[in-house]
Amino acid sequence: MPAYRRRTEQFISLAQECGFDLCGVAAVGEISEYHFFEEWVRAGMAGQMRYLTDHRAALRRDARLLLPSAVSVLCAGKVYRTQENPGGGAGKGRVSSYAWGGDYHDWMRRHLEMLVGRLKDEWGEFESKVCVDTAPLLERAIARSAGLGWIGRNMCLINERIGSWFFLGEILASVSMAASNPPPGRCGTCRRCIDACPTQALVPTRESDGPGYALDSRKCISYLTIELRGEIPPDLRAAMGDHLFGCDICQDVCPWNSKSPMALEPEFQPRHAFPDLEESAALTPEEFRERYRGSPVWRAKHEGFLRNVAVAMGNSGDPRYVPALRTLAAQGGPVVGEHAEWALSRLSSSTF
């Protein structure tokens, strides 16, 4: 067997031993989907996510811009879903399932570095760079080339066997390996994700030779509750429902997730799935830090989290939140206060 094929087989075996559920190899080169990314950025769909539009944007064209000696990209996926997500019920907000446990970056980086060590034991020294989703890579495009799945209409990477509930990580390596084959897209005529999105964030494109839909981040509940700083557009607030951090709707309705496996790792088990709204509204900056430091929820920051809590309270239709909202309106600062006033107005209206 040629050495480059043997290395791919060894990588797959060792990746599984290191706890990964999916793995594949992509050859390094200019990424064909990069011009779609450029069009998406030019259309303004990245919103305030400047890390996607600043000088780092061009780095996504080719992995060799991150590691000049790279020859192969070793892609790995890890399932994170730990239970079904029916919602927390009355009085609860909702957190996206990827953020239920600890910070997944820690698990992914630790296990990718472990994998690099195992590979170097087998192959000898080589140059490498471990990347999680903070690196300027078009992860899903590379993972598709590596055979991990296809990019669905909800813009998630979907694997026929396990669905889309998995994290991605990469190892850029100066080692020649046999590349995997990308699978065909299998969304067919299904548009459940498009129809289910409350804010209609999945929008048709004008691409004749590319993806039929794109995610307009400016309308996406995940963007609104996590990435957006300041005011949430008033016309989108009602559609946010009880979401406090992120959104899983387009994955929840995907048929390919109907039989997805569950993760058993202690780090991913639920700690922050359905926060109590009244308790959340009363969190001080110190209490927020103590509760969510080491969790993805920390990314929203205290002000953003209280802003999201106010919107969820306004969408609840429950007048018991009036006292808490009045407190937020008076003491929460300009951003939180404005959203609390909106919520109070919504509760006093005949909307429900």
DSSP string, 118-147: HHHHHH----EEEE-TTSSS-HHHHHHHTT
Segment 240-264 mean pLDDT: 96
Q: Is 133 a catalytic residue?
A: yes
**190: Cα within 13 Å, side-chain hemisphere:** 16
Count of beta carbons in the 10 Å neighbourhood of residue 114 = 14
Segment 185-193 mean pLDDT: 96
pTM of the prediction?
A: 0.95
Tell me what pLDDT residue 272 has.
87
Tell me what pLDDT residue 88 has.
66
Tell me what pLDDT residue 190 has.
97
Q: How confident is the model at residue 211 (pLDDT cuts 50, 70, 90)?
A: confident
Residue 234 near residue 255, CB atoms below 8 Å:
no
Tell me what pLDDT residue 188 has.
95
Tell me what pLDDT residue 209 has.
72
Q: Which two tokens mark 319? A: 């007048």
Segment 14-18 mean pLDDT: 98
Percent share of the chain, pLDDT over 90: 92
Look at residue 277 and give its three-state secondary structure: helix
Tell me what pLDDT residue 279 has.
98
Tell me what pLDDT residue 248 has.
96
Tell me what pLDDT residue 352 has.
59
CA 319, CA 163: separation in Å to the nearest integer?
39
Measure the CA dihedral 171/176/178/180, to 10°: 30
Tell me what pLDDT residue 83 has.
85
Tens-digit pLDDT profile for residues 115-169: 999 999 999 999 999 999 989 999 999 999 999 999 999 999 999 999 999 999 9
65 by Cβ neighbours in 10 Å (0-12 / 13-18 / 19+) ranks as: middle
Domain chopping of the chain, boundaries? 1-83+101-215+261-269
Tell me what pLDDT residue 206 has.
76
Closest to 134 measured CA to CA, from 81, 56, 21 = 56
Q: Quick check: 86 pLDDT over 70?
A: no
Tell me what pLDDT residue 168 has.
98
E strand residue ranges, 149-224: 150-151, 157-158, 166-173, 202-204, 213-215
Q: Quick check: 87 pLDDT over 80?
A: no
Higher-pLDDT residue of 136 and 212 is 136
Tell me what pLDDT residue 208 has.
66
Q: Which of 86-90, 150-154, 305-309 shows the lowest mean pLDDT across its residues?
A: 86-90
Higher-pLDDT residue of 83 and 126 is 126
User: Could you identify the residue written with the tokens 């000049």?
Assistant: 68
Tell me what pLDDT residue 210 has.
72
Tell me what pLDDT residue 1 has.
74
Tell me what pLDDT residue 110 has.
98
Q: Quick check: 350 pLDDT over 90?
A: no
User: Could you identify the residue written with the tokens 């919520």?
Assistant: 343
Q: What is the mean pLDDT of the chain?
A: 95
The residues, ordered by sequence, that sit 6+ positions from 286 with a Cβ below 8 Å of its Cβ are: none
Catalytic residue among 133, 216, 235, 318: 133
